[in-house]
């Protein structure tokens, strides 16, 4: 059950992360990364690794996007 919750959080964060790749929307990653961290914590409490891995992937995407934009854009 926790894995499904973690997957849902990860999918929502991934959708918002793809939107945040648009120019001038990179600031949204500051909101997406904490959401994915919550999903990772929920995923670590479950038996399966799929939700945790998805959220770690979303965190990686968000951090890379923030580094490309200089942390703001």
Q: What is the band of 73 on the pLDDT scale with cuts at 50, 70, 90?
A: low
pLDDT(70) > 70: yes
pLDDT at 72 (0 to 100): 64
Distance (Å, rounded) from C-alpha 18 to C-alpha 1? 26
Cα end-to-end distance, the chain, whole Å = 36
pLDDT at 52 (0 to 100): 95
pLDDT at 71 (0 to 100): 72
Q: What is the band of 6 on the pLDDT scale with cuts at 50, 70, 90?
A: very high
- Predicted TM-score (pTM) of this structure: 0.89
Mean pLDDT of the region 43-69: 93
């Amino acid at each position: 059950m926790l894995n499904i919750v973690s997957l849902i959080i990860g999918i929502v964060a991934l959708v918002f992360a793809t939107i945040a790749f648009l120019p001038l929307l990179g600031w949204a990653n500051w909101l997406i990364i904490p959401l994915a961290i919550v999903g990772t914590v929920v995923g670590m409490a479950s038996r399966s690794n799929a939700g945790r891995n998805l959220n770690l992937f979303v965190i990686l995407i968000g951090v890379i996007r923030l580094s490309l934009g200089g942390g703001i854009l």
